[in-house]
Amino acid sequence: MAPALQASDARPVAYGTQDAPCAPVGAALPWPLEQDLGADFTPEVREARTETDALVARAIQQAYAA
């Protein structure tokens, strides 16, 4: 999955996109899922979502650094 994420971000990086927006966007990602799941949005779901988002962010940041 990481190579696909890195490749998908190659074009924005070429346009001068920076990785600074990653943190606030990543922090906002759990909210829509929480709204959709309601009471089913447990601490375990939040943790899994946070870990997944961190994995995706690391892959994208590696693309920026390349």
Closest C-alpha to 37, from 46, 25, 26: 46
Domain boundaries, the chain: 2-65
Task: Give the DSSP per-residue string, 5-64.
Answer: HHHHTHHHHHTT--STTHHHHHHHTHHHHHHHHGGG--HHHHHHHHHHHHHHHHHHHHHH
Residue 40: the pLDDT is: 97
The residue with greater pLDDT, 66 or 33, is 33
> In the prediction, which pLDDT does 56 show?
79
Residue 29 and residue 49: Cα distance in Å, rounded? 8
Prediction pTM value? 0.62
What is the radius of gyration, based on Cα positions, of the chain?
Answer: 14
